[in-house]
Amino acid sequence: MANKTKDYLAKVRKKTSFSDYKISQEYSINQSNLSKYKSGKAALSETHAWLFANILGINPAEVVAHTKLEHAKITGSKSKAVFWQEQLEKLANNSKSIKIDIAQINPIVGDLDGNFQKIIKLTKEAHAQECDLLIFPELSLIGYPPEDLLLREGFIQQMEDKIILIKQTIPEDIAIIFGAPSKQDGALYNGAYLIQDSQLRVYHKQNLPNYGVFDEKRYFESGHEAFIFECQGKRIGLVICEDAWTPKIISTTANQGAQIIVSINASPFQVGKHSQRIEQIKQRVLATKTDFIYVNMVGAQDELIFDGASFVMNSNAEITLQLPLFKETVKRVSFTPPNTLPADTDPIEKTIYNALVLATKDYIEKNGVFNGVVIGLSGGIDSALTLAIAADAIGTGNIKAIMMPYEYTSNISLEDAKIQATAMNIDYHEISIHTIVNSFKTQLNTLFNGMEADTTEENLQARVRGTLLMAISNKLGKIVLTTSNKSEMAVGYATLYGDMSGGFAPLKDVSKTLVYQLTKYRNTLSIIIPERVIEKAPSAELAPNQIDQDSLPPYQELDAILALFIEQKYSVERIIKQGFSEQTVKRITKMVLNNEYKRRQSAPGPKISQNAFGKERRYPMTSKFQP
């Protein structure tokens, strides 16, 4: 390492790409002093030594000691030279590389004991591997988002008891960071706890997100102070999730001496989100010249999916460690670029499919009240894909597939449903609904006398099927997975209390065109969905020779309009200017708004898009708004 002022200056010049004049202006160093530093006529002042150390990302004590030794030699002070030489030797003997591990875990909301046990177990395992600092995600002790559990006094008390128990249980010679709320002076904060040397400190999240699926200002107060600590001679700054998207918070942390910045996160998945994270952190790193550790949660919670994908970026904005998507993992941090990183070549269909599988698996298993799944298998593409997702999530032995034919069900649909169930080794049953539907019609004949058959009779078929599925669910303890996709839910092309009946909707945020893409992708792993299911025109089969495009535009056109209206929030006029028929756009957007009441009663489903039909969409059911 350099031990002369001019060498440190040269390194600062190289790292910042600044001229001496720019360094003087940027860091408020007198030009005369800078000239003396450059020529070697003067050693760095203690203030400038500390400043250069932060810029270079090295231990400030070493730079101060080197420059103090240099000054002693320049001034001829032998006693001071001996003293500072001894300090340098002590620093060399005590210094060692810091060993940091990332714990990308899947906590369960409200499972304080289970999450506590996981933190303790992984801490002890990391300690056995001589880890110095183990980092868990945001709110990892209680799960995210905890929502109104935070308003319960008993919940907060139990959480605080667990925090004390963690402090008492972990080995003394390992430091850990984990997320949990912090209650101080009657205010609740989103906290990052540091337990180090049997001492407990907490950082309070400063930037609270309050948009989309986030409503942290409902529960938390904002913190206002940066948080820096030392571990193995390294100065480490700590932030939480949205803080890292805020340049001022990161620059303040870096300016207070942080050489490494750690961000703990509960950042939900949506298409394209990981690349956005990488770009944001790259901007922070290039601005502050600090190493950066991004630790994200993995797993699913109700509508949200957390993809993990934690990563490390060194001060040159190079990714030096990339953790996998959708998988619990513990990895040792390195700031040295590897020879190769895993190539990001997975098709988007694979990423989305895996997200839906994780969401379905976690919803079923974390709730702990269902022993499996029941699905109405129609021979159509939506139920075929839902069955595949369910099987990959919880295994084929935990699923019942029920085909419920009526007089409009085609022989092809019957055959394809049975072919898929057989190919997947699924427990498959057929229940004819002819007698039930006809009995319902008979009972309604007097009331409907003189009226022509319409969608009422079509919906009756769907409602009989929904009732049967819910009865099977009730008797067998298996959750009904609904099979409607986002396109259908958008325009109300689903039957309330019919095919909308169920507990979870894996395709709720998946457009019809994406359904086709995902189905084709799943068949590349193993051919389980009959090709005819993919090729035939989609139909609800509730009327003779019925196909979806009798009442809807082609799905490619429909999905393009819906994406602009729902996810981009375009006006009708702006959508029409994209080249779509005015009549079609007005009809489709009106259908979207008119069916808000249906969606409000639909089963929850995983969010994968920029705007899903769930907690982030808060439109009135009663409204006269014309888009």
279-299 confidence digits (pLDDT tens): 999 999 999 999 999 999 999
Say which residue, 63 or 386, is predicted with more confidence: 386
Predicted TM-score (pTM) of this structure: 0.83
User: Can 231 be counted among the known catalytic residues?
Assistant: no
The one-letter amino acid code at 570 reads Y
- b/e string for 110-119 if b means 16 or more Cβ within 10 A? bbbeebbebb
- For residue 145, whether the previous peptide bond is cis, meaning omega lies within 30 degrees of 0, is yes
Q: Is the pLDDT of residue 95 over 50?
A: yes
What is the rounded average pLDDT of the residues 526-538? 89
Residues 29 and 21: their CA atoms lie apart, in Å, by 9
Q: Which of 216, 234, 241, 458 is catalytic?
A: 241
* CB of 177 closer than 8 Å to CB of 136: yes
Phi, psi of 95 (to 5 degrees): -75, 140
- Where is the binding site for deamido-NAD(+), in residues? 459, 488, 598
Query: Whose CA is closest to 548, among 587, 598, 595, 512?
Result: 512
pLDDT of the residue at 550:
58
What is the rounded average pLDDT of the residues 138-161? 94
Q: Is the pLDDT of residue 29 over 50?
A: yes
pLDDT of the residue at 545:
63
- Where is the binding site for ATP, in residues? 376-383, 483
Longest pairwise C-alpha distance within the chain: 114
Residues 68 and 88: their CA atoms lie apart, in Å, by 10
pLDDT of the residue at 536:
84
- b/e string for 237-268 if b means 16 or more Cβ within 10 A? bbbbbbbbbeeebbebbbeebbbbbbbbbbbb
Say which residue, 89 or 584, is predicted with more confidence: 584
For strand 100-104 and strand 199-204, is the pairing parallel, antiparallel, or unpaired? unpaired
Q: Which of 70, 138, 221, 242 is catalytic?
A: 138
Residues 10 and 8: their CA atoms lie apart, in Å, by 5
Q: Which of 118, 205, 486, 607 is catalytic?
A: 205
For strand 311-313 and strand 291-296, is the pairing parallel, antiparallel, or unpaired? antiparallel
What is each CA distance from 298 to 15, 144, 327, in whole angstroms?
35, 10, 7
190-229 confidence digits (pLDDT tens): 999 999 988 999 999 999 999 888 999 999 999 999 999 9
- The sheet with strand 479-480 has its strands ordered as 427-430, 399-403, 373-376, 479-480
Residues 569 and 563: their CA atoms lie apart, in Å, by 8
570-586 confidence digits (pLDDT tens): 999 999 999 999 999 99
Which of 30-34, 268-272, 418-422, 479-483 comes out lowest in average pLDDT? 30-34
pLDDT of the residue at 2:
42
Full DSSP string of 308-337: B--EEE-TTS-EEEEPPBTS-EEEE---SP
How many residues make up the chain in this entry? 627
Q: What domains does the chain contain, in order, with CATH numbers?
A: 5-94 (no CATH), 100-338 (3.60.110.10), 351-547 (3.40.50.620)
- Where is the binding site, in residues? 211, 267, 273, 376-383, 459, 483, 488, 598
Share of residues in the chain with pLDDT > 90 (%): 70
Residues 54 and 60: their CA atoms lie apart, in Å, by 7
pLDDT of the residue at 1:
37
* CB of 290 closer than 8 Å to CB of 258: yes
The one-letter amino acid code at 122 reads L
User: Can 131 be counted among the known catalytic residues?
Assistant: no
Q: Which two tokens stand for residue 582?
A: 């005015």
Residues 44 and 52: their CA atoms lie apart, in Å, by 9
What is the rounded average pLDDT of the residues 270-281? 94
User: Can 241 be counted among the known catalytic residues?
Assistant: yes
Residues 12 and 289: their CA atoms lie apart, in Å, by 11
Share of residues in the chain with pLDDT > 70 (%): 95
